[in-house]
Amino acid sequence: MIVVMKPGATKEQVAHVVDLVKDYGLKEHVIYGTDRTVVACLGDKRMVDKGAIENAPMVENVVPILAPYKIASLEVKKEKSRIEIGPGKFPIGGQKVGVIAGPCAVENLDQTLDTAQAVKEAGCVGLRGGAFKPRTSPYSFQGLGVEGLKILAKAREETGLAIVTEVIGLEQLGAVVEYADVLQIGARNMQHYPLLEAVGKTNKPVLLKRGMSASLDEFLLAAEYIINAGNSQVILCERGIRTFEKYVRNTLPLASVAALNDRTHLPVVVDPSHGTGHAKLVGPMSLAAVAAGADALIIECHIDPEHAASDGAQSITPKALKDLMPKLKRIAKAVDRDM
Amino acid sequence: MIVVMKPGATKEQVAHVVDLVKDYGLKEHVIYGTDRTVVACLGDKRMVDKGAIENAPMVENVVPILAPYKIASLEVKKEKSRIEIGPGKFPIGGQKVGVIAGPCAVENLDQTLDTAQAVKEAGCVGLRGGAFKPRTSPYSFQGLGVEGLKILAKAREETGLAIVTEVIGLEQLGAVVEYADVLQIGARNMQHYPLLEAVGKTNKPVLLKRGMSASLDEFLLAAEYIINAGNSQVILCERGIRTFEKYVRNTLPLASVAALNDRTHLPVVVDPSHGTGHAKLVGPMSLAAVAAGADALIIECHIDPEHAASDGAQSITPKALKDLMPKLKRIAKAVDRDM
Amino acid sequence: MIVVMKPGATKEQVAHVVDLVKDYGLKEHVIYGTDRTVVACLGDKRMVDKGAIENAPMVENVVPILAPYKIASLEVKKEKSRIEIGPGKFPIGGQKVGVIAGPCAVENLDQTLDTAQAVKEAGCVGLRGGAFKPRTSPYSFQGLGVEGLKILAKAREETGLAIVTEVIGLEQLGAVVEYADVLQIGARNMQHYPLLEAVGKTNKPVLLKRGMSASLDEFLLAAEYIINAGNSQVILCERGIRTFEKYVRNTLPLASVAALNDRTHLPVVVDPSHGTGHAKLVGPMSLAAVAAGADALIIECHIDPEHAASDGAQSITPKALKDLMPKLKRIAKAVDRDM
Amino acid sequence: MIVVMKPGATKEQVAHVVDLVKDYGLKEHVIYGTDRTVVACLGDKRMVDKGAIENAPMVENVVPILAPYKIASLEVKKEKSRIEIGPGKFPIGGQKVGVIAGPCAVENLDQTLDTAQAVKEAGCVGLRGGAFKPRTSPYSFQGLGVEGLKILAKAREETGLAIVTEVIGLEQLGAVVEYADVLQIGARNMQHYPLLEAVGKTNKPVLLKRGMSASLDEFLLAAEYIINAGNSQVILCERGIRTFEKYVRNTLPLASVAALNDRTHLPVVVDPSHGTGHAKLVGPMSLAAVAAGADALIIECHIDPEHAASDGAQSITPKALKDLMPKLKRIAKAVDRDM
């Protein structure tokens, strides 16, 4: 942390800042420049709220130097984590790029089994599907609940696919852990800390979606909550951020994939469905995501998107998924991955 | 809802869309324009996922017409709701502009009582303070928990101030309801629907903070979750949004106050502390918020901001608060309000 | 500037960075911390592209310390600049808050004179109106050109109002300088540097609008271009930024007014019309802007907004302007200003 | 365009809107719904400012239906435009993906020729390099001007590469046209309409960069200015947008490539250098851009990035470029393109 003093700060004012720095358990190092005096603070142990020093007289600003996360960092663990999911123990973060697909919501048994079959045949490794749905409107379909979980388990039984499904609260956690292979934390819950800690106490892999306005630091700190609670099987998922753009539901910033690969050992998955909001953009962005270094994709696929109970506009058909897979494979090869 | 067809859409393709519209229980009205055919859909009951129609062949886009919220709307209730808080039953949403102030976190008994005394003397109507803290980093101070709630209750006893404190999960809800006068839902939890429904089943007023990237529609739908669950005592709180700006922690868009006043009967409170992130910007934005039509302010105030356990950079001192109050009163008068 | 090395950087790698720092004419100061080595660079002369050092091996990032602007800064000139405009020599930046109003575009003589008369009667000090219009679409009304300038001059003659009008290119600069009292640089041209330099060589006050995605640093650097070219009569204008919000044309971040007052001696004007895009939001945001510390307002006013050639949705009527003025005066008084 | 009336609008108020619609030369079509009356307006000729109708009594909002651009649209021309550049007449928009590379700024003859040689050997088709530099700070290196253009021409002579260089104002246009093969319009000038019209009157291809907060509609309307002035050789360039993200200089939204391919016949180029701001992110995003469907890339490459006069942090070395090219070729093949 660097404290920058305003020009004209007196010796006493600098001394006052030095005292504050010591109060916070840090060692100070004062540098007298031509325009500014600067107090470098050593020994930062990532305790975060020293911005309070900004309130001291004649302090111009306080600049953090260290990244705030630790155990999610590449500094602590150099090699990429491989996280095995489902009956097939497919390793997310390994040499192979995996594709997880399925409907936004589990609507009924037939829809789910038919989709699962198509997803399996296309060569995917996991089935996604919501049993508990966090919906923006209280008047929207809220999911089948435990009944939906049972349908997903049935689909796993028939296909061997890993089941990825969202947990939206502590109340449902037990049920979701019982049936699911991967616990999804949705974008809206990325900073719901009690839930992060709770999934951190389970032994199931967690797919953590980036909040729609979360910085990478905040995203990695959310992962850190889970790891810190005891569960290191965290899979990061970029699903797009909210910007001024209107032709998409979210802006999908694929540079985050490369930037995360440069900061953390955790695998990175991309969701091109929420990341764009339109079925016709899903294909190109899936290809781009793999080219950018994604370890896996999670794609919304529905047997009848025009009648989907939710997210119809961004769901692709089983046929579109089947056509996409060989192209993805070629891209994976081009970046020295397999599929 | 309006479905816009691409140029060149055939009769059959338009008919297919009409069928879909009927499937959704709506009545269609087809308009043949010079460049486009458009299908207007009547009888919209705010069921939301008809964007699925976007997936039909030759559909260009689907434009919603109705606002998705209902019971939070001015259409349903014309006069502003007045929500009484605390022992003094101060009505938020009435003629008087109220100020709620206090520390980010309850740190200990003395700090809280001293602050409460100062807040009371300055003329405020409520005391804010977190007992359960949702913190971005797992290594930050997480609050005193129930002990903190008891300290707040003690402060109420001594000052008569209404206690506003955050609830971060269902687990703590019972305890918070027992001690607090107003249940705060933080920005990060604005779309934590199980929590919204749970506070909707209590009889305590709820201060609902806008998520940092929530649209006004999403904000009002979150309020609608609470009202729909049975609790109409919802106070909206604008606390700033995330944008590209870097000189502030958040961008505080005060036009939302006027826009909300034009859409909903719910009272609107502004938080200039989170809304800016810097103590020196709190004063001007407090004045601006009241000028823009805010019903109340919620301000972070700490007896020693340089040593605050959290949010020190944006906390003002009791003296700064005391100096601000008469200015606020003059602004309130200027817009025909009292204080 | 602070160069942060990655953990594990060798002595040679630090020495290489020190060499680079010297190449840039700076003096280095190396600090060995517990987690990181940091190279503080002294003597920064605001030359900007030293981010190149980021490319050196094992450099984690490069943190600037100094603000990049200089002559626009409060450090150089402590007291607020007062910039006199028009025949009445009204000082923008003085004790009095001024209001400038008028149509988006000069459409014809009658419309302009009628509006000017109304604007004058309401108590405004300036008339705004575009003769050259930068329009998003090539098919929109592009302004009357020199004819429009003459109409504005006529309006000044009749009312004594200062004429504020936009210059969109070097080609028209001579004509605009001949007729206008204040040269407006539009948001889209904030970084059109040849134009900034050209208005910097005139002796007319310049109203510089903030670009819709400009940071405060970029905004002040644009002002610095003008001052650096010889013209210190720069008036800054906040007109809203582009964010994810959809209920407004732009998000109007009034904290920028206070933040600019804390950084620069240049006066700050607010444009609540472009800042919101809707006539009904103009009143509340005008009041809020003055409460936040704005030195003046610039408001779009049209005698028949429903038929305006441009910006009709955000133009208020002469009656609305007249009703707004006494409220603005009360707010101005409340913050110890006059009107 | 659809005008949505508020609930409770009277017959007279609807009739008033119908009159306004007719005033604008449109035909009205009134639909009486259960909650709202809606006035659909037929015959829209893309005149834009009918938002003015929003000001009429009891109008809730005005929803545009047609895209505002026309001649840039796929509706007008179905097949992708192929725009040939430089001595080699390489067709941008054809089967082959082209790479243009070079320094941010032309610094001197040797640097430019050495870079050009390396760029040529790597297999690129164009050399980029700025002779006139629009710089955020007036204290930064502003380019060599005409001398720089001559150096670029020399580099073309030696290598046969097409020269892509920026024009920042009408004053320099003649010189740039004389020496350059492609006229670049920078992001800051995307809405500098006099410049757009001026390059529209030349016969040189124009590389138009997206403004950092431009919507796709605004981007295509800027292209429309150029085409409308007579020059249809417009190449669109996505170079990233400004968002809340801080680990990048800009957020590179590759879905825009697919979305533009779905809207316009103009070729689309991606700039991963400005699009990320960091050399290490350039490779992954170059691969992703080609996977997403880009017709070409424009990459900053410097022989000594640590000493670059500008944009050093985001420039890759000739070696990095050479290593990247075969990977790009494999991605191109994977999406059925050549290189």
Residue C310's pLDDT is what?
81
C43 and A33: CB-CB below 8 Å?
yes
Residue D203's pLDDT is what?
96
Considering only CB atoms, D253 lies closest to which of A252, A289, A331, namely A252
| Together in a domain, A209 and A250 | yes
Task: Please check whether residue C339 lies inside any domain of the structure.
Answer: no
Task: Please check whether residue C115 lies inside any domain of the structure.
Answer: yes
Closest residue of chain C to B259, computed from CA coordinates: C281
Closest CA–CA distance from residue A312 to any residue of chain D (Å): 18
Closest CA–CA distance from residue C140 to any residue of chain D (Å): 6
C65 and A4: CB-CB below 8 Å?
yes
Q: Which residues contact A18 (CB under 8 A, 6 or more apart)?
A: A28, A30, A39
Task: Please check whether residue B318 lies inside any domain of the structure.
Answer: yes
B139 has a chain C CB within 8 A of its CB: no
| Together in a domain, D174 and D223 | yes
The enclosing domain of A319 has a CATH number of: 3.20.20.70
| Together in a domain, A33 and A95 | no
Task: Please check whether residue C73 lies inside any domain of the structure.
Answer: no
| Together in a domain, D129 and D209 | yes
Closest CA–CA distance from residue C291 to any residue of chain A (Å): 24
| Together in a domain, C225 and C279 | yes
Asked if D158 and D116 count as a contact pair (C-beta separation under 8 A), the reply is yes
| Together in a domain, D103 and D160 | yes
Backbone dihedral region for residue B160 (phi beyond 0: left; psi -120 to 50: alpha; all else: beta): left
Mutation site for D-interface testing, chosen from C137, C221, C278 by largest number of D Cβ within 10 Å? C137
Closest CA–CA distance from residue A96 to any residue of chain B (Å): 31
| Together in a domain, C165 and C259 | yes
Residue A47's pLDDT is what?
54
Asked if C275 and C298 count as a contact pair (C-beta separation under 8 A), the reply is no
pLDDT along chain A (339 residues), means of 10: 88 93 87 84 65 86 83 89 97 98 96 97 97 86 93 98 96 96 97 96 98 97 96 98 96 98 97 96 98 98 89 91 98 97
* Cα D46 to chain centroid, rounded: 22
pTM above 0.90, yes or no: yes
Q: How many helices (H) and strands (E) does chain D have?
A: 9, 14
Q: Which chains does A contact via 3+ CB–CB distances below 8 A?
A: B, C, D
> What's the pLDDT tens digit per position in D28-74?
889 887 778 889 888 765 555 667 888 888 998 888 877 888 889 88
Task: Find chain C residues with C-beta within 8 A of B327's C-beta.
Answer: 334-335
Residue C141's pLDDT is what?
82
**In the predicted model, is pLDDT for residue B48 greater than 60?**
no
Considering only CB atoms, C49 lies closest to which of D51, D140, D278, namely D140
Q: Which chains does D contact via 3+ CB–CB distances below 8 A?
A: A, B, C
Considering only CB atoms, B65 lies closest to which of D4, D44, D75, namely D4
Task: Please check whether residue A339 lies inside any domain of the structure.
Answer: no
C284 and B291: CB-CB below 8 Å?
yes
Considering only CB atoms, A255 lies closest to which of D285, D290, D334, namely D285
Choose among B145, B205, B136: nearest CA to B169: B145
| Confidence at C135, pLDDT banded by 50, 70, 90 | confident
Backbone dihedral region for residue C209 (phi beyond 0: left; psi -120 to 50: alpha; all else: beta): beta
| CB interface of A with B, residues 45-74, below 8 Å | 46-56, 62, 68-69
- A-C C-beta contacts closer than 8 Å: 52
End-to-end CA distance of chain C: 44
| Confidence at C67, pLDDT banded by 50, 70, 90 | confident
Alpha helices in chain D (DSSP H): 11-23, 109-122, 146-159, 170-179, 193-199, 216-228, 255-261, 279-292, 318-334
Token pair of C288 as six digits: 């809020």
| CB interface of D with B, residues 239-298, below 8 Å | 242-244, 246
**In the predicted model, is pLDDT for residue C69 greater than 90?**
no
3-state secondary structure of D60: strand
> What's the pLDDT tens digit per position in C97-125?
999 999 999 999 999 999 999 999 999 99
- Strand ranges (DSSP E) for C240-334? 268-270, 296-300
| Together in a domain, D246 and D167 | yes
Asked if A266 and A235 count as a contact pair (C-beta separation under 8 A), the reply is yes
**Pairing mode of beta strands B90-92, B83-85:** antiparallel
| Confidence at B63, pLDDT banded by 50, 70, 90 | confident
From A63, A92, A108, give the residue that closes a domain. Answer: A63
| Together in a domain, B167 and B120 | yes
Residue A285's pLDDT is what?
98
D55 and C315: CB-CB below 8 Å?
yes
d(CA A128, CA A310): 14
pLDDT, greater one: D160 or C39: D160
Q: What is the DSSP string of B236-303?
A: EEE--B--S--SSSSB-BTHHHHHHHTTBSS-EEE-TTTTTSSHHHHHHHHHHHHHHT-SEEEEEB-S
Residue C45's pLDDT is what?
59
Closest CA–CA distance from residue D289 to any residue of chain B (Å): 24
Q: What is the DSSP letter of A94?
A: S
Closest CA–CA distance from residue D281 to any residue of chain B (Å): 20
State residue D270 phi and psi, 5-degree precision.
Answer: -120, 140
Closest residue of chain A to B189, computed from CA coordinates: A192
Task: Please check whether residue D73 lies inside any domain of the structure.
Answer: no
d(CA B86, CA B127): 10
Choose among D243, D254, A173: nearest CA to B241: D243
A75 and C7: CB-CB below 8 Å?
yes
**In the predicted model, is pLDDT for residue C32 greater than 70?**
yes
Closest CA–CA distance from residue B244 to any residue of chain D (Å): 4
| Together in a domain, B34 and B102 | no
Task: Please check whether residue C244 lies inside any domain of the structure.
Answer: yes
A247 and D256: CB-CB below 8 Å?
yes
Closest CA–CA distance from residue C5 to any residue of chain D (Å): 15
| Confidence at C46, pLDDT banded by 50, 70, 90 | low
**In the predicted model, is pLDDT for residue D139 greater than 90?**
no
Q: pLDDT > 90: what percent of chain C?
A: 76
Residue C126's pLDDT is what?
98
Task: Please check whether residue D78 lies inside any domain of the structure.
Answer: no
Q: What is the DSSP letter of D189?
A: G
Considering only CB atoms, B255 lies closest to which of C252, C290, C331, namely C252
Asked if D35 and D60 count as a contact pair (C-beta separation under 8 A), the reply is no
C255 and B334: CB-CB below 8 Å?
no
pLDDT, greater one: B98 or A63: B98
| Confidence at B46, pLDDT banded by 50, 70, 90 | low
> What's the pLDDT tens digit per position in D20-33?
988 888 888 898 87
A213 has a chain B CB within 8 A of its CB: yes
Instruction: Indicate the number of domains in chain B.
Output: 2
Domain extent for C42: 2-63
Least confident of B190-194, B312-316, C256-260: B312-316
Closest CA–CA distance from residue D44 to any residue of chain B (Å): 8
Identity at D43, one-letter amino acid code: G
| Together in a domain, B180 and B277 | yes
B218 and A136: CB-CB below 8 Å?
yes
- Name beta bridge partners: C290: none
- B-D C-beta contacts closer than 8 Å: 52
> What's the pLDDT tens digit per position in B195-238?
999 999 999 999 999 999 999 999 999 999 999 999 999 999 99
ipTM of the complex: 0.94
Q: Which residues contact D241 (CB under 8 A, 6 or more apart)?
A: A243, A244, A245, A251, D210, D212, D213, D214, D250, D251, D252, D253
- B-C C-beta contacts closer than 8 Å: 136
Residue D47's pLDDT is what?
54
D255 and A258: CB-CB below 8 Å?
no
D49 and C191: CB-CB below 8 Å?
no
| Together in a domain, C215 and C301 | yes
From B63, B92, B109, give the residue that closes a domain. Answer: B63
Asked if D46 and D53 count as a contact pair (C-beta separation under 8 A), the reply is no
B134 and A191: CB-CB below 8 Å?
yes
Considering only CB atoms, A310 lies closest to which of B49, B62, B229, namely B49
d(CA B203, CA B10): 56
Sheet (strand C59-63) strand order: C27-32, C37-42, C2-5, C59-63
C166 has a chain D CB within 8 A of its CB: no
Per-residue 3-state assignment (H helix, E strand, C coil) for B51-92: HHHHHCCCEEEEECCCCCCCCCECCCCCCCCCEEECCCCEEE
C306 and D20: CB-CB below 8 Å?
yes
Residue A45's pLDDT is what?
59
Average pLDDT, chain C: 93
The enclosing domain of C26 has a CATH number of: 3.30.70.1140
Task: Find chain A residues with C-beta within 8 A of B225's C-beta.
Answer: 138
Residue D44's pLDDT is what?
62
| Confidence at B49, pLDDT banded by 50, 70, 90 | low
